Amino acid sequence: MDTYAVWGNPIAQSKSPQIHAVFAAQTGQAMKYEAILGDPQQFEQQLRAFFAAGAKGCNITAPFKQRAYLLADCHSERAITAQACNTLKKLDDGRLYADNTDGAGLVSDLNRLGWLKPEQSLLILGAGGATKGVLLPLLQARQNILIANRTLSKARELADKFAPYGNIQALELVRIPPQKFDLIINATSSGLQGKIPDIAPEILLRAGAVYDMQYAKHTDTPFIAHCKGLGVTKLCDGFGMLVNQAAHSFNLWRGVMPQTEMLLAEGKL
């Protein structure tokens, strides 16, 4: 039986083992998948030992996405542009291949919702690793992107880097123009501290739809709760992105794309 895992720290909250168990049963794949707590001091040694013992692949979550990327021997374009990976696959020749399926998972979920159409105006809140991981697939989907970040230099750095791939601009979070955006995506990590991005309520109320890349079990994220309190009705959290990025990883490993509809219909695991 082939071995897979998700590595992170913390990791007990991960839903990946349940998701991949559903995918394996659905597609008849003989595999086991576990959650492993990575040691910040020994992560590279742990990961090498994991693959040396015969593992076929793994997912990577915070805080190890950049370190896993550097450990890999070859990389997909979307991993290179993100300078981080969430998926590793051991190739037949023994090399480690790094991919980043976060953006593909987000695009798949936005398509499922019917929220992704060409040439939309898309506002992304935050310029950290989460944003960097999804920009290439969003630009390939022909979105006109505005990155708003508390620190302008970080947003500009990303906009400059991704400018060859499409229409992308940057500005400070407090300087978002009072226009209607087709879609607003919260890619900040503020919800982990129970906080929300500092964005004017009227901008959220004018939006065609609002998406939070974070998700919370059996409740709303702080950002979703805030938007609901304002009266925003077209809202979604990141559970569908989580399931869809897992499906893209599974397809990379096993050569079959699992169906996500059942998991998404049932809601949070």
Query: Which sequence positions are flagged as catalytic?
Result: 65
Sign of CA dihedral 62, 65, 68, 70: negative
Farthest-apart Cα atoms in the chain, separation:
55
Residue 139, strand partner residues: none
What residue numbers does the annotated binding site cover? 14-16, 61, 77, 86, 102, 126-130, 149-154, 213, 215, 238, 245
Helix (H) or strand (E) holding 183: strand 183-186
Binding site for shikimate: which residues?
A: 14-16, 61, 86, 102, 215, 245
Give the position of tokens 């890349």. 213
In the sheet that holds 31-37, the strands lie side by side as 31-37, 2-8, 57-60, 87-90, 96-99, 74-75
Q: Rounded to 5 degrees, what are φ and ψ at 37? A: -80, 115
Q: How many CB atoms lie within 10 A of CB 252?
A: 18
Q: DSSP secondary structure string, 145-179?
A: EEEEESSHHHHHHHHHHHGGGS-EEEEEGGG--S-
Q: What is the dihedral of CA 193, 198, 202, 207, to 10 degrees?
A: -60
Asked if residue 203 lies in contact with residue 178, where contact means CB atoms within 8 angstroms, the answer is: yes
Residues in binding site for NADP(+): 77, 126-130, 149-154, 213, 238
